[in-house]
Amino acid sequence: MSITSNDQKYIWHPYTHQKNMVSPIPIVRGKGAFLVDESGNKYIDAISSWWVTVHGHAHPYIAKKIYQQAKTLEQVIFAGFTHKPATELAARLIPLLPGEFSKIFYSDNGSTSTEVALKMALQYWVNKGDINRNKIIAFKNSYHGDTFGAMSASSRSIFTKAFNEKLFDVIFIDTPTVENLNVIKTQLEENKDGIACFIYEPLLQGAGGMKMYDPKLLDTLLKYVKQQKIICIADEVLTGFYRTGKMFAGDYMNEKADIICLSKGLTGGTMALGVTACTQNIYTAFLSDDKLKTFYHGHSFTANPLACSAALSSLDLFEKKKCINDIKRIIESNAKFMDILSLNNFKRRIKNIRQLGTIIAFEVETEQEDAYLNNVSEVFTKFSLEKGVYLRSLGNTIYIMPPYCITGKQLKKVYTVLRKFLNHE
């Protein structure tokens, strides 16, 4: 049976309208920024395969390290046992994180990392005996994952519509602007003694449409939130590992989070791993003779040694000058392309042209503004794939988020395809 016939017979794809689904492209290998299909067609992966791939596909160094680890220890229960890849990774990560973090809790992916963070923050107050501090604050338009807790803390949208009644209550606030800061403060003031935590995607709301907002304003908001002793949870699942130009988005702010969530680029985008790091203050609330104060949470693959080795080898690559230079090169190149986009002299009108680090985004003006229900995405993905570039828009929000190994020539090709699309009727 071919990949396609097995796929059609047995597979249910994520985020995919199954009826009349366009047959997925069978990918047989990847190399650097390229994905290669079974007919030998090559596609530049300009969105890093759902924002995960940072050093490129099938990176030989990461592959070697995973292989070596697979021959040594592939998996072990992480309660009552520990191992070098997990301990070494924690020891190397903690000094790199933006804040005073002291403990790392492992899980499997981005959703579990935020789920863990929310549970930690809620139980922190229970353990402290302050049970009325049980409300969660999140931004409107946020996305923290697809499991129930993560979904509850995410903005209500067409993704959550079928489950809205089952989701727990969250107070949604606007992302900060000069005009609305005081309104947000009043909103927080009204609830202040009951708020357990504030979860936010720093500087970039990815799934919400690559919306970018100002670090200074976030800093001001965080300062205020921290004065209320509200636990700040930075969801850096997407923004971590140089996507925004700095190693973490939190590096742009003076005010630091109490809990940080990582995944995606953590393993170089090669294996599923989640990290939730917390400060000593949070951890101390769980240190007790009372067993009920234990954090009863874990997953079968918590701290999987292969995933931890992949993360360690990814950190090795980030220590190389080449990687940092590549990131700078992409940022500069994108900035030049921004100038071209800003001319806005294409057949299709575009708006809100923006850049944050290695990411560029803008909206194509459409008659149906409801981003996920218009057809820009289908038309755009098909158009770009035919030209050898893989781009997937979020409704009418088009963005580029390439792996850092993308060459100047490949990046130029991505820009060319974008321009062709914008000039195409």
Ligand X SMILES: Cc1ncc(COP(=O)(O)O)c(C=O)c1O
The residues carrying an active-site annotation are 15, 143, 235, 264
Tell me the closest approach of the beta carbon of residue 299 to ligand X, in angstroms: 12
Tell me the closest approach of the beta carbon of residue 52 to ligand X, in angstroms: 8
Applying the rule CB under 6 A, the residues between 80 and 119 that interact with ligand X are: 109-111, 114
Which one of the spans 120-128, 231-239, 327-335, 361-369 is the region binding ligand X (CB under 6 A)? 231-239
Which one of the spans 124-132, 139-147, 308-316, 350-358 is the region binding ligand X (CB under 6 A)? 139-147
Q: Which two tokens stand for residue 222?
A: 């965080």
> Is there binding between residue 220 and ligand X (CB under 6 A)?
no
**Amino acid in the structure at residue 310:** A
Tell me the closest approach of the beta carbon of residue 339 to ligand X, in angstroms: 28
> Is there binding between residue 238 and ligand X (CB under 6 A)?
yes
Tell me the closest approach of the beta carbon of residue 113 to ligand X, in angstroms: 7
**Amino acid in the structure at residue 345:** N
Of 34, 78, 124, 143, which one interacts with ligand X (CB under 6 A)? 143
Nearer to ligand X, 30 or 149 (CB): 149
Neighbours of 280 (CB within 10 A): 11
Sheet with 34-37: strands ordered across: 27-31, 34-37, 42-45, 389-390
Nearer to ligand X, 99 or 240 (CB): 240
Size of the site for ligand X (CB under 6 A): 14
CB distance 404 to 32 below 8 Å: no
Nearer to ligand X, 57 or 144 (CB): 144
Which one of the spans 53-61, 141-149, 226-234, 289-297 is the region binding ligand X (CB under 6 A)? 141-149
In whole angstroms, give the CA distance from residue 403 to residue 329.
12
Longest dimension (CA), the chain: 69
Tell me the closest approach of the beta carbon of residue 351 to ligand X, in angstroms: 23
Of 30, 98, 145, 268, which one interacts with ligand X (CB under 6 A)? 145
Which residue is nearest to ligand X, using beta carbons?
A: 110
Applying the rule CB under 6 A, the residues between 181 and 210 that interact with ligand X are: 201, 206-207
Neighbours of 88 (CB within 10 A): 15
Tell me the closest approach of the beta carbon of residue 392 to ligand X, in angstroms: 12
Q: Which residue has the tokens 């060459």?
A: 407
Applying the rule CB under 6 A, the residues between 253 and 312 that interact with ligand X are: 263
Query: Which residues, in sequence order, are bridge partners of residue 34?
Result: 31, 44
Nearer to ligand X, 114 or 152 (CB): 114
One symbol per residue from 21 to 60: x for binding ligand X (CB under 6 A), - otherwise; what is it?
A: ----------------------------------------
CB distance 386 to 376 below 8 Å: no
Neighbours of 183 (CB within 10 A): 13
Tell me the closest approach of the beta carbon of residue 49 to ligand X, in angstroms: 12
Nearer to ligand X, 403 or 415 (CB): 403
Nearer to ligand X, 50 or 168 (CB): 50
Residues that bind ligand X in the complex, under the rule CB under 6 A: 109-111, 114, 143-145, 201, 206-207, 235, 237-238, 263
